[in-house]
Amino acid sequence: MIEFLQFLVPGILIGGVYALLASGLGLIFGVMRVVNFAQADFMMLAMYLSWALFAGGIGLDPFLAMPGVFVVFLLLGMAVHWLFIRFVIGRRENHDAQVILTIGLGLIFQNLILIRYSSEPRVVAPSYANDGDFIGDIFISRARLYAFLLSMLVAALLFLFLNRTATGRAIRAASENWEAATYMGIDIDRTNRIAFGVGVALTAVGGSALVTFQSITPFVGLRFVVVMFAAVVLGGLGSVGGAFVGGVLIGIIQSVSQVWTSAAVKNVWVFGLFLLILYVRPNGLFGKVQRAI
């Protein structure tokens, strides 16, 4: 039982960060029905930014850098939407173009970083990186605890943004029914641009919450891309709240699997669960299963 708890608690902590990563992907899919395969590479870019701020002289703590990371990636996301994404939104024939465009963008990010920083793994090790506290027999890493708490804070801010601001409500409206949103006088293109920026920024902030215990390489996104997709599908494609719950569940499963199998294959459980959900409940744990007959 203790062993189980020893894995469960870190699972919840990392799950909080996954929830943040996934809510960004979920927001983008919900609003513009684009599966953004570059999402994990935005996360990777944010991790490098955090690393550069920490290691590059000024020694800025990654958790303190998060507001700055958010703003930078909000703007970057909006720029990428304006430069690329807006041309492939809408019509059904654009589905293929969306897939290859976002895959291509992700690859470009990876390889530009590879060229600039090589493939050597980078680490961000603030003074508290290895600290932690025992609660009973359970060790709680301080870095992970901070990451969890900050993720929850950002999630709360996201909730307020979506529910209490005119732009947030416009995003929710466009995500539910873009035609009706048009009749409300909502500028769909602007809403999409903001949603893409916010979605990218959420994942970016999640990435900078990871850096104190996750080494950084240009290809680190690949490990997280299916984690994010699994969380989003688990919670129901297009639901931000669902993606959030899905992220926590994925974190728990990934961590608790180590009770039974080696840590090296913990992601096999995540990918397997992802497939199971796709096959058995394609609309997510909370959605109604719809099948075309």
Partner 1 sequence: MLETHDLSAGYEGVPALRSVDFRVGPQERVAILGPNGAGKSTLLKTISGTVTPEVGSIRFDGQDLLALSPHQRVEAGIVHVPQGRMIFASMTVADNLRLGGHRSAARQRHDERRDLVLEIFPALADMLSRDGGALSGGQQQMLAVARGVMACPRLLMLDEPSMGLAPRAADEIFEGVAALLQSETTAMIVVEQRAYEALEVCDRAYVLESGEVALEATNEELLGDERLAAAYLGTEL
Partner 2 sequence: MRRLAPFVVLVVVVALFNGSLSGRFHLRVLTLAVVWALAGVAWNLMAKAGQISLGHSAFVGIGAYGFTILLRDGGTSPWVGMAVGMGVAAALALVIGLPTFRLKGFYFTLATISFPLIMELLVSHYGEPEFTVPFHPENEWKFMEFSNAHTYVWVGLGMLLVALVISELIDVTSFGFALRAIRDNEVLARAVGIRTVAWKSAAFMISAALSAAMAVLWVKAVLRVTVAEEVFGITVVIVMLSVAFVGGVGQTWGPVVGAAFLIPLAMFLDDSIGESVPGAQELVYAAALVLVALLIPRGILPAAERGCRRLAGLVDPEGRGRGWQVVQRLAAPPPRPSPLLSVPRKVPSRRIPSTDGAPVLEVEGIAKSFGANRVLSDVTFEVDAGRRVGIIGPNGAGKTTLFNIMTAHLRADAGRIRFKSVAIDAMRAPRRYELGISRTFQVPQGFHLMSPLDNVVVAAIGAAVTRPVHASMAMLDRVGLADKALGELSSLTVAETKNLELARAMVSEPELLLLDEPLAGLNETERVRFFQIVDDLVAPQTAIVVIEHSVRSLIRYVDSVVALDEGRIIAEGPPEDVVSDPAVIEAYLGSKWMKRA
Q: Which residues bind partner 1 (CB under 8 A)?
A: 163, 166, 169-170, 172-173, 176-177, 179-188
Q: How far is the CB of 92 from partner 1 (least distance, A)?
A: 12
Q: How far is the CB of 131 from partner 2 (least distance, A)?
A: 31
DSSP state of 85: G
226: nearest Cα among 25, 47, 81: 25
CA separation for the pair 83, 199 (Å, rounded):
16
> Residue holding tokens 């769909």?
188
The answer for 284, left when phi > 0, alpha when psi is -120 to 50, beta otherwise, is: left
What 3-state class would DSSP assign to 9? helix
Nearer to partner 2, 164 or 288 (CB): 288
Nearer to partner 1, 186 or 201 (CB): 186
Nearer to partner 2, 65 or 232 (CB): 232
Nearer to partner 2, 40 or 252 (CB): 40
111 binds, among partner 2, partner 1, none (CB under 5 to 8 A by kind): partner 2
Which structure tokens are listed for 77? 């996301």
Compute the C-alpha angle 129/133/135, nearest 5°: 150
CA separation for the pair 127, 208 (Å, rounded):
16
> Residue holding tokens 């963008």?
105
Nearer to partner 1, 167 or 215 (CB): 167
101 binds, among partner 1, partner 2, none (CB under 5 to 8 A by kind): partner 2
Q: How far is the CB of 37 from partner 2 (least distance, A)?
A: 8
172 binds, among partner 1, partner 2, none (CB under 5 to 8 A by kind): partner 1
268 binds, among partner 2, partner 1, none (CB under 5 to 8 A by kind): partner 2
